[in-house]
Structure 1
Amino acid sequence: MVATRGGQTLLEHYRPGEDFAWGGSLGLVEFGPETLHDIRSVTKSVTALLYGIALGEGLVPPPTEPLLPRFPQYPDLATDPLRARLTVEHALTMSLGLEWREDLPYNSPANAEIAMELAPDRYRYVLQRPILEPPGARWTYCGGATALLGRLIADGTGQSLPQYGQTVLFAPLGIGSFEWIAGADGVASAASGLRLSPHDLARIGELVLADGVLNGQRIVPADWIHTMLQPRLQTSWGGQYGYQWYIESIKGRRLVAGMGNGGQRLYVLPDLDLTVAITAGNYDGPDQWRTPLTVLEQVILPAVA
């Protein structure tokens, strides 16, 4: 756990525990400031930042653009008039209207993200899912939506996600060590593959707090930060969702967050100029959300608010 304000570390805490990389045990690890940790689906929020950078460079389509023309390898899907309604924004907001279940354990091939990773073509797997409702009608948690964004970034930049991320985001932030886990097809997972240290994860939160500028350097366009964090759809538990980021309220203060399985959290509280990065190992636990929220509410906020 690392909490920072104004670039200064207010609190940090590490403890030993069993670590995992995408479900594979790494054994007991003595965690410290430089230790990498799965951030799981907080990766989605980082991918959204990379999309905004690429958009500012004119390398990826704007949110309003139709999605399927960017996947010309699937002409059969493009002829479906219902699928033709899909836009980039529907991927950004996880509102594709396609059948997708990730409420199952991530060690089960019945989980749609795992099935996507096992599929011979991950993008076809996502785009040919059965249509359940009009796009944009409802938020449904969907790692496949983020996978599509990752492909648009790779196609537009001519680089893999790790390569592009290193050039335009990690190196400018001074993040020298990271890993981006890839599937069997060699494609880095845009939805859940990043491994970062908590300090470096907090740096990403500081960048969001500063509207895309850090140490005087513009890294992410400010208008993208504002657009990305605009509430657009309600989540299944009542919070709001923007472009791959959650927008909620805690103790009357605005909270934007990246969240990942096992208790991974990147909390950003603009009113307090506060960033909190938490990595944990409670993977697939039904109450995994409770510990990071308790830490924020009962430990950190009383100390700084």
Structure 2
Amino acid sequence: MHRPWPYLLAALLAGCSFALAAADYRAPVSHDDGWPVADARAVHLDTAPFAALEVRLADGSYKNITSILVARDGKLVYEHYFNGGDAEHLNDVRSASKSVTALLAGAAIDRGLIPGVQAKVYGFFPDKQPVQHADPRKQAITLEDLLTMSSLWECNDENEFSSGHEERMYVSEDWLQFALDLPIKGFAPWMSKPADSPHGRAFSYCTAGAFVAGAVVERAARMPLARFAAEALEKPLGIEHAQWNTSPLGIGMGGGGTRYRSRDLAKLGQLALDEGRWHGKQVISAAWIRAMLGVHAQARDDADYGYLWWCFRKPVTGIDEPVWAMGGNGGNYVFVVPSRQLVAVITSTAYNQRYAHPQSQEILREYLLKAAQPGR
């Protein structure tokens, strides 16, 4: 079948455009922020998928992406900003902040401020008692229950009728009292009880629980959560700019809304990949990182859950390899792929859009991971 010459010309131009895009690959610029940089090809990455991705971003196939960064073998090798994003912008990564709270819980345990994940939550807040819906099972709730989204509180952000839905918390003044007062949830016949669930935990996504986990760290450290984060985590990583939100009564918001620059988000991912080390210094204990990035609950059919970190497997990569992730509304992600020694940051402002999370996961699967195919 003969193609008309305009079709052939268009195909030729498209090929030339792709070739030019591939040739235009540029390694990230070295800044005074602790990130070593390298050419992607020097760490055995194929730059063609990056070029193909930039074409899709330019033609609007992917919407509201503001930055994409990739680090491999501890070196930053790809860094691009889109749609008004830039290297100094403090990205509102929403619930990806929860994963930072998990790191801070580890830092507090490392310092002996919290005895361990089995610490009873209500014991940190004697001033908030007595609580409503008193029940011995509430007093038995542990920090680990909050970190794994598996406490017995009736709290489910995916159910608008839930007593503990985050939007109900936001319109109250005392978020901490709101959470501690929540009733014990019941299990309808179609719901899996903890004893019948994988890992013995019935997962229920609960921002109020992550907020309380941050409040536990704040009480244990006897300082604002933002200050503890700066001293225990951000300064050791060379993170100079961050923004933490607080509740109406001034308690640090460990459940969402923290803002970081894209390069600094990549540092958090690299810290997790390197078992708590940054430039050879142990910032968070390796034991905590291993526990944090261990599967403790099944969140969905396609995802497991560690300590406020997601774990994706086949749905993201197509093969059985764990992809750990900080994830937040809008499609904001920090992906950590141990099998490929890869960290990827995707920031996005597609808040409350159905396409947001599938879009970011597709970018990882179809482009960033293909640049790092095994054997390269």
Q: TM-score, with normalisation over the residues of structure 1? A: 0.89
User: Post-superposition shift, 1:93?
Assistant: 0.6
Partner of 1:94: 149
User: How many residues are matched?
Assistant: 290
Residue ranges of structure 2 left out of the alignment (5+ in a row): 1-67, 187-192, 195-199
Cα gap change, 1:192 to 1:293, in 2 (>3 Å) = same
Partner of 1:19: none
User: Post-superposition shift, 1:302?
Assistant: 1.0
Pairing 1:8–2:66 present: no
Contact 1:109–1:115 (8 Å) recurs in 2: no
Q: Higher strand share goes to which structure?
A: 1
Pairing 1:303–2:360 present: no
Match 1:172 to one of 236, 241, 247:
236
Pairing 1:44–2:117 present: no
Contact 1:255–1:267 (8 Å) recurs in 2: yes
SS where residue 153 of structure 1 aligns? helix
Contact 1:61–1:88 (8 Å) recurs in 2: no
Partner letter of residue 101 of structure 2? Answer: T
User: Post-superposition shift, 1:4?
Assistant: 0.7
SS where residue 259 of structure 2 aligns? strand
Q: C-alpha offsets along residues 3-26 of structure 1, whole Å, 9 cap, x if unaligned?
A: 11123222222112xxxxxxxxxx
Structure-2 separation of matches of 1:158 and 1:3: 36
CA RMSD of aligned residues (A): 2.1
Partner of 1:155: 219
Spell out the pairing of 1:93-132 with structure 2 (5 A cutoff).
93-103=148-158, 112-132=165-185
Contact 2:295–2:311 (8 Å) recurs in 1: yes
Q: C-alpha offsets along residues 111-169 of structure 1, whole Å, 9 cap, x if unaligned?
A: 82232232222112112212114776410001111111111111111111110111111
Q: Higher helix share goes to which structure?
A: 2
Contact 2:92–2:259 (8 Å) recurs in 1: yes
Pairing 1:226–2:290 present: yes
Structure-2 separation of matches of 1:233 and 1:109: 21
Structure-2 separation of matches of 1:2 and 1:150: 28
Contact 1:93–1:243 (8 Å) recurs in 2: yes
Partner of 1:214: 278
Partner of 1:201: 265
Contact 2:154–2:163 (8 Å) recurs in 1: no
Structure-2 separation of matches of 1:156 and 1:130: 25
Cα gap change, 1:216 to 1:137, in 2 (>3 Å) = closer
Structure-2 separation of matches of 1:187 and 1:117: 13
SS where residue 223 of structure 1 aligns? helix
Structure-1 separation of matches of 2:232 and 2:95: 20
User: Post-superposition shift, 1:237?
Assistant: 4.0
CA radius of gyration, larger in: 2
User: Post-superposition shift, 1:58?
Assistant: 0.4
Q: Which runs of 4+ in 1 moved over 6 A?
A: 108-111
Residue ranges of structure 1 left out of the alignment (5+ in a row): 17-29
Partner letter of residue 179 of structure 2? Answer: V
Match 1:76 to one of 123, 130, 136:
130
